[in-house]
A and B are shown apart, each in its own frame.
Chain A
Amino acid sequence: MSAPLLSPDLLRRLEQFQLLSRRRSKSSARGERRSRARGQSVEFADHRNYVPGDDFRYLDWNLFGRLERLFLKLYEEERELPVTLFLDASESMAFGTPAKFTFALRVAAAIGYVALCGFDRVNVRLFPENPAEGALRNALRSVRGRASARGYFERLGQLAAQGSADFNACLRREAMQAQPGGLAIVLSDFLDPAGYEDGLKALLGRGFQISAVQILAPEEVAPSTYGDLQLLDAETGAVQEVTFGKFRLAAYQKCAGQYCQRLREFCQARGIRFFSASSDTPLEELLLKQLRQAEVWG
């Protein structure tokens, strides 16, 4: 049996958090989030004139006593907050020690657990498509309630990273299929030759409040293999020849830093919260420090 994605201690600490949203929920399902809709709750919202057919139970009798006119009391409707996790399960995520995909699954589990504890609906969308995992993926499309957490973790643990993905195309398609609005968490390495801009823009167009988490392997941040190399791209199969040595490490790290910085600037310019982590980073560092400071949850 594989190790659990999250430790019991971490789960206890995550239970204290609740996902924060800057926008009111637009979901139609009832939940515990404030929304613009009027309905039944304890939160008073407004008055309106009585029209025949209204439920007498919502008449404001105190106001009728002072003004001798019938007014109806209106309350805010509490709806759920959809949380959509866009998880990159391409071949490139299988690299690293520990693997980038494992780290991404643990982050997805933590976010999902916080959402489930807050009675929010969790929707995990994986790309690229993998017909072999069709049932598994469908089960992760709509998970709600704290009681579903155990099944949610088990299904996540059964996922594997394989196949090649066009990041932009996949994200556009998933964005169209997902329920619009709500929180969107993109977990990927963002290392696609075609770029990442179109995919993120598609999510923005669908009204998501996006958080992007870039996960890189330690070997990608500081390569330790030197000499005359023939690099084979795991996804595209492209071959690149390179001669690399210790004296070029600083230049490489500078180049990689510039790439990440461009991604960060792109996100910040569009109101996307951006996080970057190496797959060997302690999970608590990302969850309890970075996400909390960025008010992803509180």
Chain B
Amino acid sequence: MSFINPFAFTFAAALPVVVVFYLLKRKRVVQRVSSTVLWQKFLADTQASAPFQKLKRHWLLILQLLMLALAVLALSRPYFSTPTAQGRLIVAILDASASMQSTDVVPSRFEKARTEAVSWVDSLHDNDQMVVLQASASTQVKQSPTSNKAALRRAIQTCSVTDGPTRLAEALKLAETLTRDQPAAEVHLFSDGAATGLSELENKGLRLVYHRIGASADNLGLISLDVRAHPEDPSRRALYLGIANCSTNEKSSSLELLFNGQLLETRNLVVPPRSTSPQVFTASQAKDGIFTVRLGAKDDLTADNQASIVSLLPRPSRVLLMSKGNRFLEKAIKTAPNVELENATAYIENQKKYDVVILDDVAPTVWPTANTLAIHVATTNWFPGWKTLSAPPIVAWKNTHPLLRFVNFDTVQIAESLVVASNSWAVPLVESTQAPLMVAGELKRQRIIWLGFDTLQSTWPLRVSFPIFIANAIDWLNPAASQAAQLFVRAGDSFRYSLTQPLTNTTVNAVSPDGQKHPLSLEGGGRELVFGDTAKQGIYHVQIGTNDLPFCVNLLDAPESDITPRTEMEFGKYGKVKATTVQRADLEFWRWLAALGLGVLMFEWWYYHRRSV
């Protein structure tokens, strides 16, 4: 026999107390009377001078001790391990994303979700099992399947809310795996429903119960932030940010811009209900530093009221253009800001001094080591194979990628193009009906853009989108730009930073915004820093010896800032799960009964002795 709650045996300390109560003789008031004859029927205890009397064999005492011992035994919850029928498996998923920090319910949505989850733990039957998952930017298994309610409560208590976005799909897929071949399994999701990426998830018979947490949506939040060179004045920096109002009322707020903690500008803004307000700040910058924007509005969610970004001073990008002659391309490169262009008609092997190499229909003898834009380069070992397509139509392009920002291919025709098979490191950006025409990616810390068609064999150079793409490409390929991008991390994502020189025998620590130090791991032969504990947003500092490298972790997630509690969640194309407002839970109340029994026992003792004569 084992005990689920062995700490209840501490109540056994009450056993000697009962005995002492019997031994203890109460202090009495001496009263002189004429005669004790009439009191004879009321006499109970015989007189004794000692404060304790001899313990007699008292049936009432024995019964009380027996009852108390049984109550203590019941509170310790003994059990026998015997084979029994399999019970239910309940997967409890706690949404620990930033939106669960909302205080529209007291004390917060996450605490409410935690309380509801604990009440479900209390309702578990003896042979039921439960799994506890915490879902935020990543999914953590807080407790594997168990019937141990104490362990489940502990696991739920260890869950903590993060500043990251919700990626429920990962948690639901894990739940689906856990509940496979379990007909009585249930998945209980404690969330406000603010999640993305569920459209790709097909609900295959998952018994999902959605416990909606949240009441209102009063929030004004930052959803995007970027810093670039000012398009009209390259000596200044421009900050582009987006502010979303997810409430149904117009909201006004102050907006502050700080650089390295110093206030630069404050402005007031009014955001209409359910809309987004773009804002642009311009500021001069004398050295590398951190811009911080701060909203002053008081709302239900504070996690999205502040964001920071590392701004590095722009450095001229040294570009080597190897081309047989392309005026359009050359002019487009020169139009781009901060570019020092050198032309070459033939291949140059010594490219160390260049930040970006552009190969325009030139086959290299040795592939460049710098970041490269390869245009119509056929003989490449970057891809497993290639072929030629005649007049491929452009059917899709990924304009969410930084390379294709403000780039449109609607009126672009191509006479002929090389196409390659897709590869794991490259992302297709422009696609024809059969194969991608443009891919981009990072291979061994080298950024590569591969364009399959000769621009002179297309109408693209005549379109406005061409110089925009070239400017985007040079900016993306600039190592300074990629370095700045590495210093901008979304909450929950890993921080990865490439080093120019490998580190050996050097202590590297990351200091989080709350001042805690975390050792950093070095990968790639000491040339890449990796840090994964970015659940809280703010400014982190990497200490490499005596050097300090700051990086910023931000929420900046529009679905997460929209804290409107969803009444239903959509899964895939057709699946929907409605919020469950009332869900029956079998709540045990034996503890209260046991405690009441103990109370009655104590009261009985007190009342008996009060009445006894």
Contact = CB atoms under 8 A, between A and B. Distances in A.
Chains A and B form a bound pair: yes
B35 A189 contact: yes
Interface string B18-55: 00000000111111111111110111111100000000
Interface stretch (A32-40, A174-182, A240-248): A240-248
B611 interface: yes
B433 to A, nearest CB: 99
Give the 4 A-B CB pairs with smallest separation, nearest first. Answer: A92-B34, A95-B34, A191-B35, A230-B28
B38 A252 contact: yes
Interface of B: 26-39, 41-47, 609-613
B38 A191 contact: yes
8 contacts: A191-B35, A230-B31, A231-B33, A234-B35, A242-B39, A243-B26, A243-B612, A256-B38
Interface string A181-208: 0000000010111000000000000000
Interface string A246-286: 01100110011001000000000000000000000000000
A217 B31 CA distance: 16
A55 to B, nearest CB: 60
A229 interface: yes
Contact of A240 (B26, B27, B43): B43
Contact of B37 (A232, A239, A259): A259
A233 B36 contact: yes
A220 interface: yes
A228 interface: yes
Contacts of B612: 243
A7 interface: no
Contacts of A234: 32-35
B54 to A, nearest CB: 15
B28 A228 contact: yes
A163 interface: no
A79 to B, nearest CB: 40
A245 B611 contact: yes
Given A229-B28, A233-B33, A242-B44, A247 B39 contact: no
A225 B32 CA distance: 11
Given A228-B27, A228-B28, A228-B29, A241 B34 contact: no
B32 A241 contact: no
Among A96, A100, A191, A231, the one with the most B-chain Cβ atoms within 10 Å of its Cβ is A231
A240 B47 contact: yes
Nearest to A259: B38
B28 A233 contact: no
Contacts of B44: 241-243
A48 B321 CA distance: 185
Name A's interface SS.
mixed
Given A241-B45, A242-B39, A95 B33 contact: yes
A60 interface: no
A229 B41 CA distance: 15
A245 B41 CA distance: 14
Contact of A230 (B41, B47, B609, B611): B47
Interface in A70-118: 91-96, 100
A191 B34 contact: yes
Among B33, B36, B37, B610, the one with the most A-chain Cβ atoms within 10 Å of its Cβ is B33
A91 B35 CA distance: 10
A234 B30 CA distance: 12
A217 B32 CA distance: 14
Given A241-B46, A243-B612, A244-B613, A220 B30 contact: no
A67 interface: no
A224 to B, nearest CB: 11
A238 interface: yes
Contacts of A235: 34-35
A263 to B, nearest CB: 11
Given A241-B44, A244-B42, 17 more contacts: A94-B34, A95-B33, A189-B34, A191-B35, A191-B37, A225-B31, A232-B32, A234-B33, A235-B34, A235-B35, A236-B36, A243-B26, A243-B44, A243-B609, A243-B613, A245-B610, A248-B611
Nearest to B45: A241
Contacts of A93: 34
A267 B583 CA distance: 81
Contacts of A247: 611
A27 B612 CA distance: 57
Among B34, B46, B610, the one with the most A-chain Cβ atoms within 10 Å of its Cβ is B34
Contacts of B30: 229-230, 232
A196 to B, nearest CB: 10
Given A242-B43, A242-B613, A244-B613, A227 B38 contact: no
Nearest to B26: A228
A229 B29 contact: yes
A248 B613 CA distance: 9
A292 B32 CA distance: 36
Contact of B34 (A217, A228, A230): A217
Contacts of B34: 91-96, 100, 189, 191, 217, 220, 234-235
Nearest to A91: B34
Interface in A128-180: none
B441 to A, nearest CB: 92
